[in-house]
């Protein structure tokens, strides 16, 4: 599949890398020649130095033969304009990165009037991701599947938890809650589990369950299962604004510390339900004065990765709060994940997951068996996918125990009508099911790809 990416920044270069790993033909366009040289050299792709809003530049990049056009520069208006120009190729799917909260309310208008296929707002999606984690403070990460009927969560095992030292089979037998334990991260090792796999202290466990069973499971193993009662946020950017709106809808009071006075005035105007404090959170005395010691959740959302990490480490040491940090750079994200800083949110990865899901769906020759959800986990080493099965295929109607599945792959959940369930060997996948897969195999595009 031919793809043009306008914008060689963090999102553009990361998406280029992911698509190239899946053998897509990718061309990067950017006005910065150094960025173009860096990305093309790193991922062996084509590059054009120029403005993506110049149709002659797009022509040089091959717009007439392009299947997917992605505009992810730092300017919303430029991204929208680039996509409008790309729609001159009627067979091209267009995706624009749009960050301004004003434009968020007009997304459907942009799609209808401008012909743009998809719009991604990484800050909004990141805020939504944080709000889900704060519903389950014990979880490191929360993702939703099956239209909200099923959730994927991860948590760290401590020695005082009931499941520590149990096999996966014993957990299912003794805890007696309908959950599917999918994988364990143990140090640098990632294990797709089976019934005899033993859960050890320090493991990061990934499991799937319905929202109701998630609460029961956390309660039974000795984890806090209720949502937080308050939230202290450092940094008043777009994610903070979106997150505050989510949390106040849940009835969670929010306090934001922001050192820029003009930004504080903007936040007071647009989210009057929050308490806005004009202060520097890197002053630890100030941080304690604003209530860190009694905060149930602490979220660092400044534009400086290192500041977010250090603030999180301080909060872990001086409070019992659920700690979440935003990290922009992938290199810092990998290090922070090893430093016990709490949950890490990376808008780049959030946006890339969204784009990759649509790219795979477009590349699927069986368009009616498309990917509905795709999440990359554990630094991209594991994928959780939801397939919509809308026509007969090689997996339909065959008992799961008779399917020749790829190694390191689990069929975790099936959604059939309004019912979601963990499938056993005697169950089968049927037409109109949604099927959730957990695997270390890369590049699954359609449901039949789960077979050897």
- pLDDT of 369 > 60? The answer is no
Q: Which segment of 38-42, 53-57, 222-226, 269-273 scores lowest on mean pLDDT?
A: 222-226
pLDDT tens column, 64-74: 999 999 999 99
pLDDT the model gives residue 365: 47
99 located within any domain: yes
Alpha carbons within 13 angstroms on the beta-carbon side of residue 372 total: 21
- Ramachandran quadrant class, 397 (left: phi over 0; alpha: psi -120 to 50; beta: rest): left
Output b/e per residue, 429-445; b: 16+ Cβ within 10 A. beeebbbbbbbbbeebb
Q: Is 132 among the domain residues?
A: no
Domain contains 130: no
H or E segment and range at residue 57:
helix 55-61
| Least confident stretch, 87-91, 233-237, 394-398 | 87-91
φ, ψ for residue 244, nearest 5 deg: -60, -40
90 and 36 both lie in a single domain: yes
Name, in order, each residue with C-beta under 8 angstroms of 49's C-beta and a sequence gap of 6 or more: 30, 31, 32, 33, 36
**264 and 327 housed in the same domain:** yes
- Residues in the chain, how many? 452
6 and 104 inside one domain? yes
Checking if the pLDDT of 113 tops 80, the result is: yes
Residue 101 tokens read as 């909260």
Q: Do 110 and 215 have their domain in common?
A: no
Show the DSSP H helices in 62-189 as ranges. 76-86, 101-104, 107-114, 122-135, 168-175
Confidence of residue 436 (pLDDT cuts 50, 70, 90): very high
Q: What is the mean pLDDT of residues 341-356?
A: 87
373 strand-pairing partners: 386
Query: Residue 96 belongs to a domain with what CATH number?
Result: 3.40.50.720
110 and 69 within one domain: yes
What is the pLDDT, as a whole number, of residue 210? 87
Q: Do 153 and 86 share a structural domain?
A: no
Q: What percent of the chain has pLDDT over 90?
A: 60
The CATH number covering residue 176 comes to 3.30.70.1450
Q: Are residues 216 and 235 in the same domain?
A: no
pLDDT score, position 7: 96
DSSP one-letter string for 170-229: HHHHHH-S-EEEEEEEETTEEEE--TTPBP-TTPEEEEEE-HHHHHHHHHHHT---SPPS
Kindly state whether residue 398 falls inside one of the protein's structural domains.
yes
Q: Residues 249, 337: one domain?
A: yes
Q: C-alpha angle 142/200/215, rounded to 5°?
A: 35
Identify whether residues 294 and 399 lie together within a single domain. Answer: no
Place of tokens 């519903």: 135
Judgement on whether residues 181 and 270 belong to the same structural domain of the protein: no
Confidence of residue 419 (pLDDT cuts 50, 70, 90): confident
Q: How far apart are the first and last CA of the chain?
A: 24
pLDDT tens for 285-329 read 889 999 999 999 999 999 999 999 999 999 999 998 999 999 988
Q: How far apart are CA 266 and CA 21, in angstroms?
A: 42
- pLDDT the model gives residue 363: 65
Give me the torsion for CA of 103, 108, 109, 113, rounded to 10°.
130
Among 345, 376, 401, residue at a domain's last position: 345
Q: Quote the DSSP letter at residue 140.
A: S
Q: What is the mean pLDDT of the chain?
A: 89
- Assess whether pLDDT exceeds 50 at residue 40: yes
Residue 29, domain member (yes or no): yes
Q: 187 in helix, strand or coil?
A: coil
Residues 251 and 164 in one domain: no
Does residue 226 belong to any structural domain of this protein?
A: no
Q: Which domain covers residue 270, as residue numbers?
A: 231-345
H-helix or E-strand spanning residue 182: strand 179-186
Q: Which residues pair with 375 in a beta bridge?
A: 384
- When pLDDT is cut at 50, 70 and 90, the band that residue 366 belongs to is very low
Total domains present in the chain: 4
Annotate 306-331 with b (16+ C-beta within 10 A) or e (fewer): ebbbbbbbbbbeebebbbbbbbbebe
**Which letter does DSSP use for residue 402 in this model?**
G
Query: Over the stretch 384-407, which tens digit does the pLDDT of each residue have?
Result: 999 989 888 899 999 999 999 999
> Final residue of a domain: which of 295, 325, 345?
345
Q: Are residues 98 and 21 in the same domain?
A: yes
Residue 300's pLDDT is what? 96
Return the H-helix or E-strand segment holding 450: none
Decide which of 120, 149, 183 is a domain's last residue. 120
Give the Cα-Cα-Cα angle 330, 334, 340 (nearest 5 degrees). 135
* 131 falls within a domain: no
Whether 263 maps to a domain, the answer reads yes
């Amino acid at each position: 599949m031919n793809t043009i990416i306008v914008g060689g920044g963090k999102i553009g270069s990361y998406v280029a890398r992911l698509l190239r790993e899946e053998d897509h033909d990718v061309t990067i366009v950017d006005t910065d020649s150094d960025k173009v040289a860096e990305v093309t050299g790193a991922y062996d792709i084509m590059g054009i130095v120029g403005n993506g809003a110049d149709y002659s530049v797009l022509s040089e990049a091959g717009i007439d033969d392009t299947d997917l056009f992605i505009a992810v520069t730092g300017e919303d208006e430029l991204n929208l304009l680039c996509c409008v120009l790309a729609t001159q190729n009627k067979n091209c799917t267009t995706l624009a990165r749009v960050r301004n909260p004003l434009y968020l309310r007009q997304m459907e208008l942009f799609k209808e009037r401008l012909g743009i296929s998809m719009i991604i707002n990484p800050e909004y999606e990141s805020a939504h991701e944080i709000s889900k984690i704060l519903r389950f403070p014990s979880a490191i990460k929360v993702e939703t599947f099956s239209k909200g009927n099923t959730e994927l969560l991860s948590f760290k095992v401590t020695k005082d938890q009931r499941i520590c030292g149990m096999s996966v089979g014993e957990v299912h037998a003794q805890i007696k809650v309908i959950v599917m334990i999918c994988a364990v991260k143990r140090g640098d090792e990632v294990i797709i589990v089976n019934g005899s796999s033993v859960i050890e202290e320090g493991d990061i466990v990934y499991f799937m369950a319905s929202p109701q069973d998630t609460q029961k499971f956390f309660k039974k193993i000795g984890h806090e299962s209720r949502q937080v009662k308050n939230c202290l946020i450092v940094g008043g950017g777009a994610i903070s604004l979106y997150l505050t709106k989510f949390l106040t809808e849940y009835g969670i009071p929010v306090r934001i510390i922001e050192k820029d006075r003009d930004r504080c005035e903007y936040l007071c105007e647009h989210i009057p339900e929050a308490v806005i404090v004009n202060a520097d959170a890197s002053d630890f005395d100030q941080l304690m004065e604003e209530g860190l010691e009694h905060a149930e959740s602490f979220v660092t959302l400044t534009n400086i990765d290192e500041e977010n990490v250090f603030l999180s480490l301080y909060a872990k040491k001086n409070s019992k709060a659920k700690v979440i940090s935003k990290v922009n750079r992938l290199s810092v994200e990998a290090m922070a994940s090893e430093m016990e800083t709490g949950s890490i949110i990376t808008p780049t990865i959030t946006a890339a997951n969204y784009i990759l899901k649509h790219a795979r769906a477009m590349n699927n020759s069986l368009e009616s068996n498309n990917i509905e959800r795709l999440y990359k986990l554990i630094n991209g080493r594991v994928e959780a996918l939801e397939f919509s099965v809308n026509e007969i295929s090689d997996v339909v109607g065959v008992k799961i125990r008779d399917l020749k599945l790829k190694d390191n792959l689990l069929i975790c959940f099936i959604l059939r009508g309004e019912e979601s369930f963990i499938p056993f060997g005697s169950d089968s996948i049927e037409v109109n099911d949604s099927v959730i897969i957990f695997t270390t195999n890369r590049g699954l595009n359609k449901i039949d790809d789960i077979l050897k």
